[in-house]
């Protein structure tokens, strides 16, 4: 459709160097062509033009002093993308690769993902090019305090509620929360993923990985299949990968490979998750160390080699564009039946095409990894009520939300003439709620 093409051209003209953002926009706009034709009122109200432009973008200097007394300078970001259905909500990524375009792609995806959860959360994302790797706890604390000293002006429990992402886990959220409270003298649910002693929710730590498996299970069930007896490959070995491994195993699958950005491990008899947790969550070591404890496992340099491991189900849980066309072809050749994304945008567009053309069930991140932010929404809910639910209560709600997301996405795919195309279905189902809210609120932004 001409309209969507011209919107794309405008985005490219303004921000052509933000390739990850353009990639995310392209996928969504392509899915929305039929929606634009069906709902001319959204075209007239400029919804499509408005949704690709963040409501607000904040960039700031973050200075801190390292353990040697040297002054270090990083760049901080918060992109407040869309508040049509609730306060901005989304994680903070701490990784040296973070640029404005990275945060924009993540914030854009977050709009649709959060909408799919059914909870009242707008879309946002933030972060910094700070690298927590190799830093002492004190250095991480000083960075987080400096980062929050500026960020606190822009966020609040009814305005914008950040959380974790790559490089931001419980430790970083704790330091940031402490600084927010100190500066604002306000004990409030301004961040999610908090520790359980100060307002965190049970299951938030596990939520993205568990939710991914609940979603994948729904995808498999719809085809009369399940995790039972399946060989599963999971990339990454961080928060999402660890709890995806745990739930896969509980559901009867066997995880045989995990990775980090340096390489991957293969353990035919199944990954020893307790060891991975000790190495990664406690000691913050490299995945390579695993083979020192299990001589029958193998370590291979280079993270993308993990897709050569034969499997029935692949769950990319590391980072964007980590699964390319060639890897997708290898997965198909090896008989893989399902790919579901724990990470955000891990599969390249040409790889998605290969998977879909070959009948591999494919669960896009916006739908499949929404369990993390959904449980953040449940944390906000408990904070507002000054109450906390049991592990079982939160887990049950998470399971229900993931089943609902699968249902909404597959029904939209069906309605728009491409049953099984969950990319189309998730994008459309996520979009329609936002569009209706923006339409009803007039041209406010």
Residues acting as catalytic residues: 125
Assigned token pair, 255:
């995880």
In the complex, the smallest distance separating the C-beta of residue 228 from ligand NDP, rounded to whole angstroms, is 25
Is 374 within 8 Å of 117 (Cβ atoms)?
Answer: yes
Which residue, 22 or 163, has its beta carbon nearer to ligand 2IT?
Answer: 163
Q: Which helix (H) or strand (E) holds 361?
A: strand 361-363
Half-sphere exposure of 304 (CA within 13 A, CB side): 13
Which residue, 34 or 97, has its beta carbon nearer to ligand NDP?
Answer: 97
DSSP state, residue 196: G
What residues numbered 158-187 form the site for ligand 2IT, per CB under 6 A? 163, 165
DSSP state, residue 375: H
Residue nearest to ligand NDP (CB): 238
Per-residue interface string for the shown chain with ligand 2IT, residues 226-265, x marking contact by CB under 6 A: ----------------------------------------
In the complex, the smallest distance separating the C-beta of residue 89 from ligand 2IT, rounded to whole angstroms, is 5
Per-residue interface string for the shown chain with ligand 2IT, residues 328-347, x marking contact by CB under 6 A: ----------------x---
Nearest Cα neighbor of 418 from 31, 45, 139, 11 is 31
Is 257 within 8 Å of 264 (Cβ atoms)?
Answer: yes
Q: Which stretch binds ligand 2IT (CB under 6 A): 31-39, 244-252, 316-324, 370-378?
A: 370-378
Handedness of CA 219, 220, 221, 222 (dihedral sign): positive
Other beta carbons within 10 Å of 440: 9
Does 31 participate in binding ligand 2IT (rule CB under 6 A)? no
Which residue, 241 or 328, has its beta carbon nearer to ligand NDP?
Answer: 241
The residue within the footprint of ligand 2IT, chosen from 78, 89, 230, 280 (CB under 6 A), is 89
Return the one option of ligand 2IT, ligand NDP, none that residue 90 interacts with (CB less than 5 to 8 A, by type).
Answer: ligand 2IT
CA distance readout (Å), 98 to 74, 393, 407:
11, 36, 34
Return the one option of ligand 2IT, ligand NDP, none that residue 192 interacts with (CB less than 5 to 8 A, by type).
Answer: ligand 2IT
Q: Which stretch binds ligand 2IT (CB under 6 A): 226-234, 278-286, 322-330, 369-377?
A: 369-377
Q: Which residues of 387-421 are buried (b: 16+ CB within 10 A; e: fewer)?
A: eebeeeebbebbbebbeebbebbbebbeebebebb
Return the one option of ligand 2IT, ligand NDP, none that residue 342 interacts with (CB less than 5 to 8 A, by type).
Answer: ligand NDP
Q: Which residues of 272-303 are buried (b: 16+ CB within 10 A; e: fewer)?
A: ebebbbebbeeeeebbbbbeeeeeebebbeeb
Which residue, 344 or 421, has its beta carbon nearer to ligand NDP?
Answer: 344
Number of residues forming the site for ligand 2IT (CB under 6 A): 12
Give the footprint of ligand 2IT on this chain (CB under 6 A). Answer: 89-91, 110, 113, 163, 165, 192, 344, 372-373, 376
């Amino acid at each position: 459709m001409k309209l969507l093409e011209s919107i794309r051209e405008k985005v490219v003209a303004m921000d052509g160097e933000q390739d990850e953002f353009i990639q995310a926009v392209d996928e969504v706009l392509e899915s929305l062509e039929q929606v634009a034709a069906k709902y001319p009122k959204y075209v007239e109200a400029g919804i499509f033009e408005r949704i690709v432009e963040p409501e607000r973008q904040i960039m700031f200097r973050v200075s801190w002093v390292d353990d040697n007394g040297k002054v270090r300078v990083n760049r901080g970001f918060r992109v407040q993308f869309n508040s049509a259905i609730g306060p901005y909500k989304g994680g903070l990524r701490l990784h040296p690769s973070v640029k404005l375009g990275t945060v924009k792609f993540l914030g854009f995806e977050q709009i649709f993902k959060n909408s799919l959860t059914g909870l009242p959360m707008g879309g946002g994302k933030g972060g910094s090019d700070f690298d927590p790797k190799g830093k002492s706890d004190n250095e991480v604390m000083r960075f987080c305090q400096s980062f929050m000293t500026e960020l606190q002006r822009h966020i609040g429990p009814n305005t914008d509620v950040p959380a974790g992402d790559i490089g931001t886990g419980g430790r970083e959220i704790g330091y940031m929360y402490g600084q927010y409270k100190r500066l604002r003298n306000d004990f409030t649910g301004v961040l999610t993923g908090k520790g359980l002693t100060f307002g965190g929710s049970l299951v938030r730590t596990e939520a993205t990985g568990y939710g991914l498996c609940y979603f994948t299970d729904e995808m498999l069930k719809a085809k009369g299949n399940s995790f039972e007896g399946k060989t599963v490959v999971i990339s990454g070995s961080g928060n999402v990968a660890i709890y995806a491994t745990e739930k896969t195993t509980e559901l009867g699958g066997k995880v045989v490979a995990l990775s980090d950005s340096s390489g991957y491990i293969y353990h035919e008899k199944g990954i020893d998750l307790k060891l991975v947790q000790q190495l990664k969550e406690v000691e913050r070591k490299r995945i390579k160390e695993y083979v020192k404890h299990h001589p029958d496992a193998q370590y291979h340099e280079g993270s993308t080699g993990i897709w050569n491991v034969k499997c029935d189900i692949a769950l990319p849980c590391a980072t964007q564009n980590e699964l390319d066309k060639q890897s997708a072809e290898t997965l198909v050749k090896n008989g893989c039946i399902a790919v579901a994304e724990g990470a955000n945008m891990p599969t390249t567009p040409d790889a998605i095409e290969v998977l879909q053309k070959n009948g591999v069930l494919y669960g896009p991140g916006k739908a499949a990894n929404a369990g993390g932010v959904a449980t953040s929404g449940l944390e906000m809910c408990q904070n507002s009520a000054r109450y906390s639910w049991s592990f079982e209560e939160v887990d049950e709600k998470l399971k229900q939300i993931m089943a609902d997301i699968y249902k909404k996405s597959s029904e939209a795919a069906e309605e728009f003439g491409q049953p099984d195309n969950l990319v189309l279905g998730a994008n459309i189902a996520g979009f329609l709620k936002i569009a209706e809210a923006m339409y009803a609120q007039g041209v406010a932004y």
